[in-house]
Structure 1
């Protein structure tokens, strides 16, 4: 994928012109990507976005083999850190390698039916494996193919240059971070974090800027949001859900950058960004988008690359979802841990008069363990509570099963303590905005 500094360095100016073929190269893949992710279609009486239809079709084709497919990905994900030696890098990597192997055990139990009866209650292993893990295992690789159309042909870079005047005053980050921010949101937080870390190591982001991007923008991708929306029965309002979640995520980030601990991080850097000449922002954005489109790899190569990235991401996250997700569900059902944590958020949820105020507060606190847990816990709630849950699980950004270990593996100076404080602030602010947004969407959707 071409983002940030890659969009600006070494562009082939002879090809980055306004020729019809280059303009088509910029817009055709981008518009197709928009169609796949944001334009609902009705097929066999079911109205949803084309990507969701594709995943449904793929699962239908797999039939009874869908569970074995998911198990194969989970085993591959547990083997990967052992074979690559990644488990040796840090204590965090060793802990998550163990958790991934626990995920293998849990997946084998789910598939075979062997194990304690308590684990096979409908809201435990069966729900986790059948409704979540298998869906994620399909949607991430398939979604990666079409995300390539959305983010690899210059649209994001064009938008990024146009967004430069907004980024610094609102989010206190350089203009080029607009590209990383949106790419992380619609692409992959892991890839987004790698890009952010590379730019930080090159001296083009300060520690504060890198931390803001890592904790404020590098949330789960649109493909994962589809899983959340399906789990919470929100696909009928997918576009409202997606864009309001993006808006709330970015609004919350605009507040957290002005609060400790982010506001107190070092803001010095060795490289400053080039300013866009006055009066030339639109033309610069146009040229940048065309340059990226001209340099983008061929469609076949791009699809192959993104399928590989999607599979690596799927095997990286599925074992953790299986183990951390199950542990979280067991803690939520059989211990008062999330009841206690939820007390912190209860005043905010109660403020809006929700019937499920306490349950939503507890579910929001469970998001620290795994971002899918709130959706699993609130699947049967009322519409406003389900909508708020879907927004908060994404907008809080940080969770221990994936994004926090990714951040800890970078050079960005964020400790676990600082990350948890940022998570708390993000969750509190997200709840404050997401509940009224849920009421608004309920009214717009006709009840």
Structure 2
């Protein structure tokens, strides 16, 4: 007789543990004129608790990561090579080793106020260190709560129920809807980490993971409101956010069907294979099958697995990812802030904006490309424009481009999904070029 996982214990575990994950990640909590999530409260509380010492902690982590990686590279000691967690943290390639060393140097310059201004200024290195402080708090708070959202059955439950809509529309499993909600209500980098972990466990193929990371990891609603306030169009926020949603969905439908996403192998991580099961057997109802899969998943869930997987994520992110964010992110912001590179590159974008009748097209053009480095710089560049409609257009564009090197780009590159810097820039350009005429059309409808 076939063992049934649907019993009171597993059903209770599925409902209660998943409810905790959903409440922490997805339930909006009022905060002033906007809202946030309990996870964001936890992150903010941790950042407040650590205070000014957080920057010194980041610098210390980067120095430790660089020193240990140098020791591993040149001496290959057993205490690193034979330890799973230390190997994950410190064994790396020559390119990433150099990046770690540069990241440690940049961090020390910023924290101790030494070195050239182009590295230490508030527009470059200081911004990145502050971002990494936030990322540190997100990772610490997020890693041990993430399994309650991914490993207790809620993703299996929603995956089966939403598959008939999500699969034909976006070419991804139904469970990807959870990634989208986590990003909208929380943080885009948290959603990318969630997607990476799902890929590593065999629930997404390489193509699906790459597609979800570059199309579903929209910035949170509170950040959208902050951008609207910065550029002075907060009175248009309902139309502003509706435009973001409409354009985001249109882009997600199109990008799934064109290169480079379409050319990524649609295969699972070789070591784990396909762990997905959303197809409903003919003899079972869709709801009953969703409950059955959820209980099977919940049956394997334990606090020990939470601690183990959470610690692995923390180690990988703190010692491997954050140094890369500091080095690459600082260099990207130096180029954006102190060189005319983006002004030169953006001239064709000025002509493209002008083609669609956008006012102050060439003044706004650099903001269409500089978002590849960071998602907030475009808002700062257009504060001096006089056209409300142009501010609306560029503001929406900056928030649907998604692939920001300082926020999610480096996380994607450091994941095992086959998306390199060139492919990310190509997807960024595709999203930008396709989105502009749609945003202009909607702006003309919404703003008179």
- Counterpart for residue 313 of structure 1: 317
Distance 1:343 1:122, change over 3 A: same
Q: Which digits, 9 at most, give the CA deviation of each residue in 1:83-138, with x for residues without a partner? A: 36779999xx32222122111111101110011234343323333323x1211111
Q: Distance in 2 between matches of 1:144 and 1:247?
A: 31
Q: Which digits, 9 at most, give the CA deviation of each residue in 1:284-312, with x for residues without a partner? A: 112111221222123x6515632541342
Give the secondary structure class of the aligned counterpart of 1:374. Answer: coil
- Counterpart for residue 22 of structure 2: 34
Matched, 1:102 2:111: no
- Counterpart for residue 374 of structure 1: 375
- Counterpart for residue 148 of structure 1: 147
Give the secondary structure class of the aligned counterpart of 1:178. Answer: coil
Query: CA contact under 8 A between 1:135 and 1:227: conserved in structure 2?
Result: no
Q: Which digits, 9 at most, give the CA deviation of each residue in 1:203-246, with x for residues without a partner? A: xx8xxxx4531331125997985896697478999999999878
Query: CA contact under 8 A between 1:398 and 1:404: conserved in structure 2?
Result: no
Give the secondary structure class of the aligned counterpart of 1:283. Answer: helix
- Counterpart for residue 336 of structure 2: 332
Matches within 5 A, 1:36-75: 36-41=24-29, 48-75=36-63
- Counterpart for residue 164 of structure 1: 163
Mean Cα deviation higher: 348-357 or 336-345: 348-357
- Counterpart for residue 8 of structure 1: none
Q: Distance in 1 between matches of 2:327 and 2:152?
A: 37
Query: CA contact under 8 A between 1:26 and 1:155: conserved in structure 2?
Result: yes
Distance 1:24 1:75, change over 3 A: farther
Q: Distance in 2 between matches of 1:234 and 1:30?
A: 35
Report the number of matched residues. Answer: 408
Cα offset for 1:317?
A: 2.4
RMSD of aligned residue pairs (Cα, Å) = 4.7
Matched, 1:252 2:280: no
**TM-score, normalising length from structure 1?**
0.71
Matched, 1:276 2:280: yes
- Counterpart for residue 4 of structure 1: none
Q: Distance in 1 between matches of 2:239 and 2:25?
A: 13
**TM-score, normalising length from structure 2?**
0.71
Distance 1:97 1:54, change over 3 A: same
Cα offset for 1:432?
A: 5.3
Cα offset for 1:361?
A: 4.7
**Unmatched tracts of structure 2, length 5 or more:** 73-85, 183-189, 384-390
Distance 1:316 1:245, change over 3 A: farther
Cα offset for 1:73?
A: 3.0
Q: Distance in 2 between matches of 1:432 and 1:398?
A: 26
Give the secondary structure class of the aligned counterpart of 2:213. Answer: coil
Query: CA contact under 8 A between 2:367 and 2:382: conserved in structure 1?
Result: no
- Counterpart for residue 295 of structure 1: 300
